[in-house]
Structure formats: structure tokens, C-alpha cells
Structure 1
Amino acid sequence: MITRISDEVAAAIAARAPVVALESTIFTHGLPRPRNLRVAIEAEAALRADGITPATVGVVRGQLVVGMSEDEIERLAEGREPVVKASIRDLPIAAAKGLHAGTTVAATAFAAHAAGISVFSTGGLGGVHSGAETTFDESADLRALASLPVVVVSAGVKSILDIGLTLERLESLNIPVVGYRTTNYPGFFVSDSGFDIEHSVDTPEQIAAVAVSRDALGISAALLVANPLPVDEQLQPDLLAHALTDARRAAAAAGITGKDTTPFLLDFVQQATKGLSLEVNVAAYRNNVRLGGAIARALADKRSGPGGRPLLHR
């Protein structure tokens, strides 16, 4: 068997109790050790403290796991064995080769939906890269979210991306986007990217109502909830702008392209901001996990979780 749902998560799904899916790339590839493990464990603990079941998704020895154990999270976080990054296209390869993998936004949303989980909290989304009009460099997250009807809570798309083009792409893919208590689209590290979105929602219950309406209409796309950090917790916009300018120049000078671009730019920004971007990253993730839990509870109260039998089995 190449898929597994933990007993805890399976019981919560069966009882239509609130569950929040969490990705694993944040601790396999996104944060430095040992901070990565602490953040992963703290996110799960925060959800449980609020009566929400966490479902961290990852690949362990080729097995796609929904609801990783603490030992499994620690194993992938410590990196003593090779751990790859897996989007949806990589899952069958990881399964066949028995690999360990952190799951991206796309792969985590895929696993969550297949298991019957309605809500997924992450940090920042992938999107359209600068220069995509010639390179066609676009995250696989976008197409995946166009066909996976989950609620995804994020602090917007990563600031290193072309946010304007990403919002245009989301529109063309018919992926609904709402701002949580704002119509200013956040830019992950900053509360306002400078781009507007049309719709805002004020409560988790309103978000749940939008998700219910989406499902009733038979729309298959994800509902993206843009959840900005409070202004006093964001990275200073001027500092970020200078760091990004320098980071892009450095990437061009070093010939960095393709999938190597995002980690290079994020690492450069972290160094240029003397670690401040890392603290903002963690704060945004915690903020999204909290809101995801509240949305999951609101959906559970409406008894509107996915019906029928999950596609993944223990």
C-alpha cells in the first residue's frame, strides 16, 4: 500500500470533526535546522490545544502519509537520510523508489482532498515567476489548485514572485481568492503587496459559507484565503524591496534558473535581512495555522465536510 491515513486523522474525518492539513516542505526544505522541527511540532500542538486535529502530510519510504507521527516528522526534519521535494508529479516516482519527501502545496492539497480534509494551512503559495512571459516558469501549485476543492490559507504568494501575473493567472484558472479582513493582497513577508483583490471576508464562518456555496455549485477549484500578517509583524517593505533587488541581480549573475531560483532568492533575502525574513516566515505560518483551525471548526459546525468515502485508506 502506498498511502496511509493515521488513526487519529481517520477517526476525526469519520466523525466530521475539524481537521487541518499541514505541508511538510516547510520543515524539510523551508526552514533551517533545528528550528524546522520546533515549528512543525508547535504547529500541531497549537491545533490540538484548540481541539483541532492536525494532519501533517509527507512521504515516508515511498508511502504518502496523511497525519505523520512525531517520529516521522522528526525523521524528515533531521535530514539524516535524503529527503526530496515532491509535487504531485513526483509522488509516483517517490512511491516506486521508496523515497522520503516533503510535500509541496500542490501535493499536500492533493492528499488532503483525497483523504477528505477540507482545510489546508501553509505559509506562502507558489505562483508565476518574474520573466515568465519568456521562460513560462510557473508553479505547479496553480494548476493543481484549479482542480482541488479545498480551502487553502496562506499569507499570499511568495514575495519573490510576480504577484500581479500570479493574480491574473488565478483569475484565468477560475480559482476564487478572498482576503481575510482586507482587500489588499498580502505579499507573504509584507501585509500589502500593492495589489488589490475584489472580495474580503470578516470571519471564519463567512469563509466556511463561501466554501459551502462553492461545493453546492459544483466548482472544483480551491478557495484561497489570503491572510496578511499584522503590519507590526511584517518585514519592512523598503528592506524587502532592496533585498529582492539585490537577490535577483545575484541570481542573474550566478546563472541561477528554474527550480533553483526560489531557494536561492529566499536564502539571499534571509541573509540580507539578517534573519528577519525567517522570523516573519514563521510568524506568517503560525498565523495561517490559527486561522485554518478556526475555518475547519466553522466548516465542521456546518457539517459540510466532504461526503462519501475517502480515496486514501489506512
Structure 2
Amino acid sequence: MNRYLQFTKEVEEALNAGKPVVALETTIISHGMPHPQNIEMARNVERIIREQGAVPATIGILDGHIKIGLNDAELEAFATSPSVEKVSRRDFPYILSSGKIGATTVAATMIGAALAGIEVFATGGIGGVHREGETTMDVSADLTELANTNVAVVCAGAKSILDIGRTLEYLETHGVPVVGYKTDVFPSFYSRESDFGVDFRLDTPEAVADVLRAKWELGLRGGAVIANPVPEAHAMKHEEIEGVIRQALQEANDQHIAGKKVTPFLLGRIKQLTEGKSLATNIQLVYHNAMVAAQIAVALKRK
């Protein structure tokens, strides 16, 4: 497996020394945000993680390798190249063997993190069961990865374009704990609210680290969702964003947009309909997740 993994010097030294490391995805850079906000966000997220005493490891596929950590030129490539493929579990063999550039989704980043020995991953929001998923069977591979891969995912809940209730039911069936970080309510990405609760609430990084360590030491395979609401100052009202999402979903249906193209289309259209407010919220929730993930990674290493 080592021949597929390629580490930056910073990440390799941190892992060898047993220092806390936080994984980061590249799909949010390549397909989740426009340029130049995407590269600014990526650099700021890495800075925030370092400020909390951990080392960032942004993961992507480049030149036939799973890159565990990216240098500045590689970050720029993921932010600007029009040929970046979106990679989930099924896509790894093809993208690696073809030498193409591939941005990792939540599922793919979890795989890369686990192969590298990284236990904590910060993202925006996880994928899940799409609305009308009972008809389309459109269920994100993020959920099956959470059921099988030992990586904790710090996120602002599931993307609000999804069916949150069915997403939580899926996670429950597969034994994935959903932790509310300083909240009793499952956040819905742009908003701090939803109609659903969490499995249990924890209020400190140390408490989260205790739960994760106990889970994995018991041999209970799979990750955990650490649901961390967007800071109140940057949150959108639940009712406001729900109306926008419904409009964007209808437009996607009318234009027969499906599969891996759905989420980028919806995020872009929501940005237009909210006149950029959703993008600003997205960036702030990612920063907040990065900070909390780094604190949890530091607490895990203390254990």
C-alpha cells in the first residue's frame, strides 16, 4: 500500500512522532466552492488547524498517488484545474491507475485517512440519503464509509439538500454514533436547526476523544459523526434556506441532473439564489469544524 501513498514531509514527521493530524478533503475545493474563495478557504483551514496544535493533511489523488498532505502548488491545482475528477470509493482504482487528478469526497478522504493512520477528519457536511431517495436509491457512499472506516468526521451535520431523517435512520441502522457537539439538535449545514436530535451530546474535545477511543478499543468498526453547528453569527434561518433548497431541487429535476452532478449543481444554485450568503456560511462552518477537529485530534493523542 505504501507505493500508493505519498506524504508531505510535515505530515510524515507528525505521524511518525505521534502528533495530532487532521485530514481534509479536496472535493470541497474543486467542486464545492468557486475560485478564488476555494483556495483561500483551503489555506485558512490549514492555518486554523496548525493554530490549535495539530497538523493538517489535505488529501487528494495526483500522478498515481494518494497524496496525504498537499503543497501550495498542488492546492492551487485542485482549486483551478478544470479536469479534476470527483472521487469516491468506487473511483479509486481508475483514477490512480490512469494518473488523473482526483478530488476526494468524504468517503474517499476517510479511506485515505485510515490508510495513513489519521483518526480525525474535518469537512463541511456529510452526504446522505437524497430527498426522494426511496424512489431514486440515491444514497451517498459517505454513509457506508462511516459504517466501516475508523475515522471521526467533524461536520455541520448533513447537507441540508438531503433527507436528514432518512440519513439519520441509515446511520442508526449501521451503528454509527451521531454526537452533538455542544448541541442537542442535529444541525442542517447552513442552519443550526433541524427537526431531528442527536444520539448524545458532548461538550468538550476530551469527552469526544473518550468516546472515540472506547469505541475503537472495543473493536467496534466504523467512524462517528461529530455534528458541530455553524456559529450563530453566520447561521441562516432554517425556513429561509429550506425554501431556496426546494426551488433548486425542482430546477435540478427539471434539467434531469442526477448522480454526482447533483450536489455541485445544488450548491451553486443555492449560492445564486441567496446572493452569495450560503457560500459565506459554508466557509465559516468549515473553519469552525477545522478548529473543533484539531482540538479533538489533540485530545485523542493525550489519551
Class of the TM-score when normalised by the shorter of the 2 chains: over 0.9
What SS does the corresponding residue of 2:148 show, helix, strand or coil?
coil
Q: For residues 21-50 of structure 1, what are the alpha-carbon distances to aligned partners after superposition, in whole Å with 9 as ceiling and x for unaligned? A: 010111111110011111101111121223
Alignment map for 1:47-126 (pairs within 5 Å): 47-79=49-81, 82-126=83-127
The answer for the alignment partner of 1:11 in structure 2 is 13
Deviation at 1:183, TM superposition (A): 1.4
Deviation at 1:221, TM superposition (A): 0.9
The answer for the alignment partner of 2:148 in structure 1 is 147
Question: What amino acid is aligned across from residue 231 of structure 2 in structure 1?
Answer: P
Q: Which runs of 5+ in 1 are unaligned?
A: 303-314
Question: What amino acid is aligned across from residue 22 of structure 2 in structure 1?
Answer: V
Does residue 297 of structure 2 align to residue 296 of structure 1?
Answer: yes
What SS does the corresponding residue of 1:195 show, helix, strand or coil?
coil
User: 189-198 vs 152-161, which deviates more?
Assistant: 189-198
C-alpha separation in 2, matches of 1:249 and 1:113: 37
Please tell me the root mean square deviation across aligned C-alpha atoms, in Å. Answer: 1.1
Deviation at 1:238, TM superposition (A): 2.5
Q: Is the 8 A contact 2:231 2:285 kept in 1?
A: no
Does residue 255 of structure 2 align to residue 241 of structure 1?
Answer: no
Question: What amino acid is aligned across from residue 62 of structure 1 in structure 2?
Answer: G
What SS does the corresponding residue of 1:185 show, helix, strand or coil?
coil
C-alpha separation in 2, matches of 1:99 and 1:185: 37
> Percent identity at matched positions?
42
C-alpha separation in 1, matches of 2:198 and 2:49: 29
Q: For residues 69-126 of structure 1, what are the alpha-carbon distances to aligned partners after superposition, in whole Å with 9 as ceiling and x for unaligned? A: 11111122121x5111111211110111100011000010111111111110000000
C-alpha separation in 2, matches of 1:166 and 1:128: 5
C-alpha separation in 2, matches of 1:247 and 1:122: 23
Q: For residues 98-157 of structure 1, what are the alpha-carbon distances to aligned partners after superposition, in whole Å with 9 as ceiling and x for unaligned? A: 000110000101111111111100000000001111111000111111111111100000
Question: What amino acid is aligned across from residue 51 of structure 2 in structure 1?
Answer: A
The answer for the alignment partner of 1:222 in structure 2 is 223
What SS does the corresponding residue of 2:6 show, helix, strand or coil?
strand
Deviation at 1:174, TM superposition (A): 0.8
The answer for the alignment partner of 1:34 in structure 2 is 36
Aligned residues: 301
C-alpha separation in 1, matches of 2:284 and 2:46: 15
Q: For residues 199-249 of structure 1, what are the alpha-carbon distances to aligned partners after superposition, in whole Å with 9 as ceiling and x for unaligned? A: 000100000000111012101110110000133321122320210121122
Q: Which runs of 5+ in 2 are unaligned?
A: none
What SS does the corresponding residue of 1:170 show, helix, strand or coil?
helix
The answer for the alignment partner of 1:158 in structure 2 is 159
User: Which runs of 4 or more aligned residues in structure 1 lie more than 6 Å from their structure 2 counterparts after TM superposition?
Assistant: none
The answer for the alignment partner of 1:269 in structure 2 is 270
Q: Is the 8 A contact 1:270 1:278 kept in 2?
A: yes
The answer for the alignment partner of 2:47 in structure 1 is 45
Q: Is the 8 A contact 1:176 1:221 kept in 2?
A: no
Question: What amino acid is aligned across from residue 130 of structure 2 in structure 1?
Answer: H
Q: TM-score, normalised by structure 1?
A: 0.93
The answer for the alignment partner of 1:195 in structure 2 is 196
Question: What amino acid is aligned across from residue 140 of structure 2 in structure 1?
Answer: S
